[in-house]
Amino acid sequence: METWEFGRTVRRWRDRVAPEAAGVPAGRRRRAAGLRREELAALAGISADYLTRLEQGRATAPSEQVVEALARALRLADAERDLLYTLAGHATPGRDVVPTRITPGVRRLLDRLSHTPVVVYDASWTLVLANAPYDALMGDTTTWSGLERNGVWRNVTRMPTRVMHSQQDQEEHEARLVADLRLTASRYPADLALRRLVADLLAGSERFAGLWNAEVPPTATEPARHKTIDHPAAGLITLDCDTLVVAQDELRITVYTAEPGTEDADRLALALVVGTQSMA
């Protein structure tokens, strides 16, 4: 019964979200005021087919990650988010779990940056949200799943990236990430998902295991405030890269900008136009 009610509730709440509020172009031939199924699926990072099966009660066990992604895409208040977890058969995340919640205030901040590449990670460096300009600049993140969504994993296993790093910069970046993850693990020892993440990293990456077991302290050098991205259409773009930390919720918000009037600003604008068109 709860599984069926979960799908009905998602459908009902999908109908009440105005496309403009979710950053989705309304268009001229829209019959309903709310989000289309494929639009909500894209915002939540799941397939439209899976969302269809959820809404129809044919998918019976949405994961906590899916529930959180839907709650975030639907812009639910805290009480409604808790209800969605209950309907999915999950306990509401407590203080002993790494938070992934984007509060309404942070959401409003992100809305104001809707034309700027922005990516949000939680304290375990697992991807929470990447906006459309970020995907246009860095490559599509909507197909990432499992360990692919974790920034530590992507770096220590040297997964493909458009960011240009020297060998030294890359190694220092990896050391900082592992040291930060160790601090997170010490703050959330009861988080089973975090413990699984660390176990998977230890088993799957010799580089991670070496840094983790050696307990190498964070490097004294500051992380680069600039990054050079090799975009397939716009070429090399050097951008300011600033990470903002939401202390209470332990979110890491990284924003990419270029100084107005520069060649990098022009290349960034081209990358966003071309990248957004290709994803569409």
Convert the pLDDT of each residue in 23-64 to its tens digit.
676 666 767 678 999 989 988 888 899 999 999 989 888 988
d(CA 221, CA 38): 44
Task: Write down the pLDDT at residue 235.
Answer: 97
- Bridge partners, 243 (sequence order): 254
Domain match, 73 and 181 both? no
Q: Is residue 132 part of a domain?
A: yes
Task: Write down the pLDDT at residue 1.
Answer: 46
Q: Is residue 96 part of a domain?
A: no
pLDDT in tens, 173-206: 999 999 999 999 999 999 989 999 999 999 999 9
Question: Is residue 215 left, alpha or beta, with left meaning phi > 0 and alpha meaning psi from -120 to 50?
Answer: left
**Which domain range does residue 206 map to?**
104-279
- CATH number of the domain residue 264 falls in: 3.30.450.180
Structure tokens at 202: 């230890």
* Cα dihedral 92/93/95/100 (nearest 10): -140
Phi, psi angle pair for 269, to nearest 5°: -60, -40
Question: Residue 150 above 50 pLDDT?
Answer: yes
Domain match, 62 and 149 both? no
* 0.85 surpassed by pTM: no
> Exposed, middle or buried: residue 133 (CB in 10 Å: 0-12, 13-18, 19+)?
buried
Q: Is residue 271 part of a domain?
A: yes
Q: 6-22 burial string, b = 16+ CB within 10 Å, else e?
A: bbebbbebbeebebeeb
- CATH number of the domain residue 52 falls in: 1.10.260.40
Domain match, 80 and 109 both? no
Task: Write down the pLDDT at residue 222.
Answer: 60
* Lowest mean pLDDT segment, chosen from 77-91, 144-158, 186-200, 208-222: 208-222
Structure tokens at 15: 């109908």
pLDDT in tens, 87-121: 999 888 888 899 988 988 898 999 999 999 999 99
Q: What is the DSSP letter of 223?
A: P
Domain match, 59 and 115 both? no
Domain match, 267 and 140 both? yes
What is the count of structural domains for the chain? 2
Determine contact, residues 127/121, Cβ cutoff 8 Å: yes
Mean residue pLDDT of the chain comes to 89
Domain match, 156 and 205 both? yes
d(CA 74, CA 62): 16
Phi, psi angle pair for 29, to nearest 5°: -105, 40
Domain boundary among 87, 113, 139: 87
Task: Write down the pLDDT at residue 170.
Answer: 93
3-state secondary structure of 225: coil
Q: Is residue 98 part of a domain?
A: no
Helix axes 37-44, 64-73, angle to 10 degrees: 120
